[in-house]
A and B are shown apart, each in its own frame.
Chain A
């Protein structure tokens, strides 16, 4: 997933490694804990959700609205 690599060629390389790790981890979880393979998909989806949601913190700075009202 290109977005996981932050749209950067080298980042995509590491994102690929991370994705591979989740597939392997999913299989290990299946072997050791009897979890279904489907958890891999759920986990990958959630990783992407959190990553995309985090962008709002990267791009924008929170400002207290009260302070702004007082100054303007």
Chain B
């Protein structure tokens, strides 16, 4: 028994590190499947983190906090939609502008709350099951949001590949002209997908400020939004692989923390680089096999839809 004692806390921390990535990744996946590339994930996550945190601090109601965050994210994503879908602006530039804007806005909103704390999100406890020696604490005693993240992956996977609406969404992402010509409302579908992506990204951000570190600090996402974007390429646009990838990146993040704590004779800066380094290496390896990407990538991603009269 004693030899495995360290495993449980490691797995628990991996789960908390991976959950924000799962949320942000799965939301952005739906957005990209509809053919829109939203590079503003980082900015949206930050706005979600701060709005969720402030709501939790003021009302003390976590459900309300997550709802407020999701609403803020949908508003941010709607702004992105107005610019890229209605006003046909460049998606890459608009996404970067959204990140700039989100980083600034969240710092502005959270200025008075830096250093404040809320009590961390309660972990569920199921009578009997949660008290099991090892599996109990790992499987049955997580925050509700962790289970929600798994549920979202299953729902999105089912929606995209098993429902007609999902098929339409993928059609819009693969050929907006064809989808338009059979009469699907391309712009409306993309608006919905973008807003869903925004809401998911900020729920990931809210998890950061409510459960991972129950406090607010400027730029607390520390690049997680960008990792979530890389995650989708890593997962070759498949929901299940987003989950695997998120846990892999979460694992590396935690691994470097534990390595630092264990006093490994490596500069801590090098260890902090690991998750980002892993991102680059994985992307290089994935890009080697071009056919894998081309098979699953939405063909119209990043292209502006302009209905021909």
Contact = CB atoms under 8 A, between A and B. Distances in A.
Interface of A: 1, 3, 36-46, 48-49, 52-53, 55-56, 59
B251 interface: no
B104 A55 contact: no
A46 B43 CA distance: 13
B194 to A, nearest CB: 15
Contacts of B106: 38
Contact of A52 (B94, B102, B104): B94
A5 to B, nearest CB: 12
Contacts of A42: 101, 104-105, 108
Nearest to A37: B107
A53 to B, nearest CB: 5
A46 B93 contact: no
B40 to A, nearest CB: 10
Contacts of A41: 100-101, 103-105, 107
Contacts of A38: 103-108, 111, 218
Contact of B93 (A3, A37, A43, A59): A3
Interface stretch (B2-10, B15-23, B83-91, B285-293): B83-91
Contacts of A40: 104
Contacts of B83: 49, 52-53
Nearest to A26: B104
Contacts of B79: 49
A55 B218 CA distance: 32
The majority secondary structure among interface residues of chain B is helix
A49 B43 CA distance: 14
B103 to A, nearest CB: 5
A45 B104 contact: yes
Nearest to B40: A45
Given A38-B111, A53-B87, A56-B89, A48 B97 contact: yes
Q: State the 6 A-B residue pairs at the shortest beta-carbon distance, nearest first.
A: A41-B104, A45-B101, A38-B107, A48-B97, A52-B89, A42-B104
A39 B105 CA distance: 7
**Of A3, A42, A44, A55, which is in contact with the most chain B CB atoms at under 10 Å from its CB?**
A42
Contact of B108 (A39, A44, A55, A56): A39
B189 to A, nearest CB: 21
A52 B97 CA distance: 9
Given A3-B93, A36-B111, A38-B111, A52 B101 contact: no
Contact of B104 (A1, A3, A44, A56): A44
Interface string B215-242: 0001000000000000000000000000
A43 B104 contact: yes
A56 to B, nearest CB: 4
Contacts of A48: 93-94, 96-97, 100-101
A41 B111 CA distance: 14
